Chains A and B, each alone.
Chain A
Amino acid sequence: MIAVELSKMLRRPRTWVTILLLNALPTLVAVLLAVTDLGPRPGSGPAFLSAVLADGTLFPLAALAIILPLFLPIAVSVFAGDSVAGEAQSGTLRYLLVRPVGRTRLLVAKLVSVIAFVLLAVVIVAATAYVVGSLLLGDQPLAASVSGTTLTPEQVAVRTVLAIGYITLSMLGVASIALLLSTLTDSPLAAALGALAFLIASSLLLTLDAAEVLQPYLPTRYWLSFVDLFRDPIFWRDIVRGIGLQAVYVVVLLGAAWANFTTKDVTS
């Protein structure tokens, strides 16, 4: 069942179009940087972007930092929001359930497929950015940590893998919101937009001093903490908090999605 769901995801034109679009913005940024040679001043602009003019192999991290705040969450919301509601809207949900596919199994398969999509997207963006960065941008092996000390290429590689894992977990939080909404409505659009509204509200509250008491619990609070993996030594505090927070969101939201979906009348 999970294998079938994965093959469905991979055979869908939408999957590849989304990944292509996710690659477009970082690639455009790389081309602009290479042509103009105008990097942002260190400490301003998206993370790592000031360093990539010198060392293009750092561009995967810059690319992830570019798509993380908005592009990637949109893609994940659309994808996860469509997972159950899309089947309901096209009518295929009832045929899956009378096939029969257990409701819990279907939900798990959808979740696995969303995780696979996030991983696939993040890895492809990172790989593309590595190629683009190596070709277009600086080739001094700077490999500088955010703290200013030098990291070995092995350290960079390990920490990049950790960063991809952390970003995937952060996106899993988004996916859980969208998946819950996807079991509540038969409209994929409503589920995706609902999840996005939640994230936009969270981002907005993060900028508001009056919302300070809420801020440690907002889902987007620790998203960009993956940058801390590239400090020397790694600054774990926010990363650990981020992991804990996302884990709570994922468990609660997926639990609610499961409770709703396994007891609901499928009238689509």
Chain B
Amino acid sequence: MIRTRELTKRYGSILAVDGVSLDVRAGDIYGFLGANGSGKTTTVRMILGLVLATSGEVQLLGQPMPRGGRKALPQVGALVEGPAAYAHLSGRANLALLDAMGAGGVRRTRQGRIDAVLEQVGLAEVGRRPVKAYSLGMRQRLGLGAALLRQPRLLVLDEPTNGLDPQGIREIRELLQHLHANGTTVFLSSHLLAEVEQLCTRVGVLDRGRLVLQEDLADLQAPTGRTVVHTPDYDRAHALLDGRIEQRDGDRLVVRGADPAQLNAMLVSDGIRVTELGPERRTLEQVVLAATDTSSHQVGVTR
């Protein structure tokens, strides 16, 4: 759906995006992670043909960008760096205008489609109010509605939950999951690890303009081959497991061995009390932190 090859953007002496090769496949919910200023938005803009790459290529739905935008973009819905609308017009009028602007917005079905997306994003009640009376969260929903208006095959969303309350974030997450289940591919750029962890099937991590990681989330979170045990009887467990304990943090032990059931049986048969037990999995945060250098967290170096 999106494929970039050695995509690079240079602003003067600053290398904003440096040799990024993304591969977003049909059916993915792709989480594009990176700190603020890591080059996410510039990459998104190059994918959509807004910013022209210094070197490298972008293929969007099989079309080279920006040249093939006329063919590819009508099947793409996008939310780039916050929503935007004409403030003196209603949300409904904004959607109608945008739909009438380009190809693929069939006039006959327009009102019906607008009703449907306003319902989907939860703005059905306020669609006729002028946008200047909207809250940030409502504007965000309107922007999402605009992206959904022509039932795109691919959604490119830059920070879609910005400005939403927890309830709104959950609604948007459920909406995206629903769209994904119906065959829409989603490319989601975010700096919120939790959001990506809950939603995405695949992640790419950008650090100072370079893609440092691109993998399926399930693989990243696969069991590490170790088991985590919580027990108040440390000394007896230590004696029993002799040498298999790799870490201890109070009651929490990290034990070598990928079979929690076997370990549990062993501990219990020896009368050792177990309060909690399970295979160790890395969190997305650990993965991302391991992939990016610690220096990237110093503001100022970040670019």
| Residues in chain B near residue A101, CB distance under 8 A | 101-102
B73-81, B216-224, B229-237, B268-276: which lies at the A interface?
Answer: B73-81
Which of these, A8, A91, A266, contacts B97 with CB under 8 Å? Answer: A8
**Interface stretch of the complex, out of B44-52, B185-193, B196-204:** B44-52
Given known A-B contacts A92-B85, A265-B52, A98 and B73 have beta carbons under 8 A apart: yes
Hey, which chain B residues are within 8 Å of A265, CB to CB? 45, 50-52
- Interchain CB contact under 8 A, B70 and A100: yes
A100→B84 contact, CB < 8 A: no
A4→B89 CA distance, assembly (Å): 14
A3 / chain B contacts, CB cutoff of 8 Å: 100
- Chain B interface (Cβ within 8 Å of chain A)? 45, 48-52, 69-70, 73-74, 76, 78, 80-89, 97-98, 100-103, 146
Closest 10 A/B residue pairs (Cβ): A91-B84, A100-B73, A99-B102, A266-B50, A265-B51, A92-B84, A4-B100, A98-B78, A98-B48, A100-B69
CB distance from A219 to the nearest CB of B (A): 32
Is A97's beta carbon under 8 Å from chain B?
yes
CB of A97 to closest CB in B, whole Å = 6
A11-B89, A263-B52 known; A1 vs B101 contact (CB < 8 Å):
yes
Please name all residues of chain A whose beta carbon is closer than 8 Å to the beta carbon of B101 when the two chains form the complex.
1, 4, 96, 99, 101
Contacts of A95 in B (CB 8 A): 78, 80, 84, 98, 146
**Any chain B CB within 8 A of the CB of A231?**
no
List residues of chain A with CB within 8 A of the CB of B69.
98, 100
The 8 A CB mask of A93-113 against B (1 = contact, 0 = none) is 011111111100000000000
Does A233 make an interface contact (CB < 8 A)? Answer: no
B88 touches A94 (CB 8 A): no
Which residue of B45, B85, B102, B146 has the most chain A CB atoms within 10 A of its CB atom? B102
The answer to whether the Cβ of A267 comes within 8 Å of any Cβ in the partner chain is: yes
A148: Cβ under 8 A from any B Cβ: no
- Which A residues touch B83, using CB under 8 A? 91
Interface positions, chain A 222-268, Cβ under 8 Å from B, are 263, 265-267
Q: Which residue from A7, A92, A267 sits with its C-beta under 8 Å from B51? A: A267
Known contacts A8-B97, A265-B45; can you find 13 more A-B pairs with CB under 8 A? A4-B97, A4-B101, A8-B86, A90-B86, A91-B84, A92-B84, A94-B45, A94-B50, A96-B101, A97-B49, A98-B49, A100-B69, A267-B45
Note all chain B residues with C-beta closer than 8 A to A102: 70
Number of interface residues of A (CB under 8 A): 24
Alpha-carbon distance between A92 and B85 when the two chains are bound, in angstroms: 6
Q: Is A41 an interface residue (CB 8 A)?
A: no
Q: Which residues of A contact B (CB under 8 A)?
A: 1, 3-4, 7-8, 11-13, 90-92, 94-102, 263, 265-267
Closest to B50 in A: A266
- Least CB distance from A240 to B in Å reads 39
Which one of B51, B82, B101, B103 has the greatest number of beta carbons of chain A within 10 Å? B101
A256 to B98, CA, bound (A): 27
Contact, CB under 8 Å: B74 / A100: yes
- B7: shortest Cβ distance to chain A, in Å? 14
Q: How far is the CB of A186 from chain B (nearest CB, A)?
A: 13
Interface centre among A12, A90, A98, A263 (most CB of B within 10 A): A98
B51 and A266 contact, CB distance less than 8 A: yes
Q: Which residue of B lies closest to A90 (CB)?
A: B84
Closest B residue by C-beta to A96: B101
Q: Which single residue of chain A is at the shortest CB-CB distance from B46?
A: A265
Residues in B neighbouring A267, C-beta threshold 8 A: 45, 50-51
Report the minimum CB–CB distance from B187 to chain A (whole Å).
Answer: 13
The verdict on A1 contacting B102 (CB below 8 Å), with A100-B73, A267-B45 known, is: yes
Give Cα A95 to B158, complex, Å.
13
Q: How many angstroms between the C-alpha atoms of A13 and B130 in the bound complex?
A: 13
How far does the Cβ of B132 sit from chain A's closest Cβ, in whole Å? Answer: 11
Contact of A92 with B146 in the complex, beta carbons under 8 Å: no
Measured CA separation A91–B169 after assembly (Å): 23
Q: Which of A1, A8, A11, A95 has the most CB of B within 10 A?
A: A95
Can you report 19 A-B residue pairs in the complex whose CB atoms are below 8 A from each other? A1-B101, A4-B97, A4-B100, A13-B88, A90-B84, A91-B83, A94-B81, A95-B80, A96-B101, A97-B49, A97-B50, A98-B50, A98-B69, A98-B80, A99-B101, A99-B102, A100-B70, A100-B103, A263-B52
Assembly CA distance A96 to B102 (angstroms): 8
Residues of B within 8 A of A92 (CB): 84-86
How far, in angstroms, from A8 to B96 measured CA to CA in the complex? 11
A4 — which chain B residues lie within 8 A by C-beta? 97, 100-101
The reply to whether A91 and B82 form a contact with Cβ atoms under 8 Å apart is yes
* Chain A positions within 8 Å of B48 at CB level: 94, 97-98
CB distance from A107 to the nearest CB of B (A): 14
What is the chain A residue whose CB lies nearest that of B94? A92
Q: A4-B100, A99-B101, A266-B45 are in contact. Are A94 and B70 (CB under 8 A)?
A: no
Interchain CB contact under 8 A, B86 and A98: no
- Return A160 CB to nearest CB of chain B, in Å: 34
Question: How many angstroms between the C-alpha atoms of A96 and B85 in the bound complex?
Answer: 10
